[in-house]
């Protein structure tokens, strides 16, 4: 059962209001959470690991190591593992 009092709070949580980190390598995800948004901060941001969260019923983008995410682009989804191999990104949790 949710411990959130208002439905609006649930919406905030789903958009990463539980915090985030600036990532330039492997991302440590807080226990019980997953990555819900990734915002590129460099024109050459690349990922060596990007694993879609299991048991969601959906498939989220898993960019290969040759794909470059331009600065300012934000990906929304749900991931259980992420490693930034070039550039930097802000990673949000829910």
Task: Calculate the CA dihedral of residues 40, 85, 48, 26 and round it to 10 degrees.
Answer: -90
Tokens of 54: 């299991």
In this structure, the number of other CB atoms found within 10 A of the CB of residue 45 comes to 24
Per-run averaged pLDDT (10 residues), the chain, 94 residues: 53 64 95 92 93 78 87 92 96 91
Question: Residue 89 and residue 86: Cα distance in Å, rounded?
Answer: 9
pLDDT for 53 equals 85
pLDDT for 25 equals 96
Question: Residue 54 and residue 17: Cα distance in Å, rounded?
Answer: 21
pLDDT for 39 equals 94
pTM check: above 0.75: yes
pLDDT for 1 equals 45
């Amino acid at each position: 059962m949710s411990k959130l009092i208002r439905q609006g709070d649930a919406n905030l949580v789903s958009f990463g209001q539980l915090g985030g980190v600036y990532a330039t390598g492997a991302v440590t995800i807080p226990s019980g959470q997953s990555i819900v948004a990734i915002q590129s901060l460099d024109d050459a941001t690349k990922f060596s690991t990007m694993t879609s969260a299991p048991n969601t019923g959906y498939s989220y983008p898993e960019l290969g190591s040759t794909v470059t995410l331009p600065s300012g682009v934000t990906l929304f989804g749900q991931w259980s593992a992420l490693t930034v191999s070039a550039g930097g990104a802000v990673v949000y949790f829910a």
